[in-house]
Amino acid sequence: MALRKDYTRPLDLKHGRVDMNHGAGGRASAQLIEALFARAFDNPALREGNDGAVLPAPPAGHRLVLATDAHVISPLFFPGGDIGALSVHGTVNDVAMMGAQPLYLSASFILEEGLPLADLKRIVDSMAAAAREAGVAIVTGDTKVVEQGHGDGVFINTTGAGWLPPGRRLGGDLARPGDVVLVSGPIGDHGVAVLSKRESLEFETEIVSDSAALNGLTAAMLAAVPEGSVRVLRDPTRGGLATTLNEITRQSGTGITLDEAKIPVRAQVEAACELLGLDPLYVACEGRLVAICAPDVADPLLAAMQAHPLGQQAARIGLVTDDPHRFVQMATRFGGRRVVDWLSGEQLPRIC
């Protein structure tokens, strides 16, 4: 006789595990949602308990920005973060890079049967803390469960919504020759932190992910200079700085020249990359941004970045050029010049 679980008893968040019933839509699903998600994310829209969330009308003329990300990072917990916080940061940042203020997130979970509920609680609590810190509310969600061996612990999708003020437009197509390329801090920390944990590598100093919500930084930047003078904001996640810049030259029909000596990379990240055969230019960040701006605002914009806790090590790293080949090129520290191409193989799988 099969033991029938009793879903009227409290959820055992210490020793329990996710089972298929938690995804079946019945009493077990309701219990998981109430005891875990609703409690951690609590807000008026979510509390309504309907199929979707009703949110306030925007200020007049404000447009809607939507961005979405699936998070499949492995391992789930890494130095400086976890999949929960990352799933908030990743999507908040995508909305912020459009120049909008992120306000609302949806969150959907694909859980693997057997996942310890204690791990799930830790992840959900981390998401809730990250959302509070970023000033966004998780207003609607969904939970599915797949059989053991058909998932990998937990995958989290978040979709973010925010309002874009009238007259503001940022986008990769707006870069133009003469514009200045800035980066908000050292690159590659996130990718190296995740890889070192995954491969159980030990470095003398622990490298910690840079995972962070950048909406405070972008708001400060956009307030510091005239509307229109910031052309592009983008966070160099998968594929790293090199790929992000190649996307921008492709969108805008320009080239970019970088000055290698100016690109901030922590010494221990550089050392780890050397050991691992990685190029930091291609390693993902989750709390850095690239800004491309009109030359006359580069100094005040850089100053605004450096005045913010998440931009203290911001630097001017290159220039947008007139280049029909749309190449990203780099003046190396040794006085040479090389093309920084798209990532064409696999740098780091499941890094976000």
Nearest to 34 by CA among 5, 7, 71, 72: 7
Per CB under 8 A, the segment of 165-173, 217-225, 309-317, 327-335 that binds a second copy is 165-173
Site membership for a second copy, residue 339 (CB under 8 A): no
Q: How far is the CB of 281 from a second copy (least distance, A)?
A: 12
Q: What angle do CA 298, 133, 138 make, to 5 degrees?
A: 115
> CA distances (Å), 219 to each of 16, 165, 216, in order?
42, 12, 5
Burial class (CB in 10 A: 0-12, 13-18, 19+), 6: exposed
Size of the site for a second copy (CB under 8 A): 93
The interface with a second copy within residues 282-301 (CB under 8 A) comprises: 282, 284
Interface segment toward a second copy; rule CB under 8 A; list 163-171, 180-188, 214-222, 257-265: 163-171
Q: Which residue in the set 57, 200, 325, 335 belongs to the binding site for a second copy (CB under 8 A)?
A: 57
Using CB atoms within 10 Å of the CB of residue 2, give its burial: 0 to 12 exposed, 13 to 18 middle, 19+ buried.
exposed
Considering the complex, state which of residue 87 and residue 126 has its C-beta at the smaller distance from a second copy: 87
Range 211-230, binding a second copy (CB under 8 A)? none
Among 42, 44, 61, 206, binds a second copy (CB under 8 A): 61
Stretch 114-143 residues interacting with a second copy (CB under 8 A): 139-143
Q: Which is nearer to a second copy, 49 or 295 (CB)?
A: 49
Q: What gap in Å lies between CA 201 and CA 274, rounded to an integer?
A: 13
Give least dist CB 267 to a second copy, A. 25
* Residues facing residue 329 across a β-bridge: 257, 339
Could you say which residues in the range 241-270 bind a second copy, by CB under 8 A?
243, 247, 251
**In this complex, which beta carbon is closest to a second copy, that of residue 47 or of residue 333?**
47
Encoded one letter per residue, x for contact with a second copy by CB under 8 A and - for no contact, window 174-213 reads ----------------------------------------
Does 86 interact with a second copy (rule: CB under 8 A)? no
- Contacts of 309 by beta carbon, 8 Å cutoff, 6+ apart: none
Tokens of residue 318, six digits: 């290159």
Q: What's the CA gap between 216 and 184, in Å, rounded?
A: 13
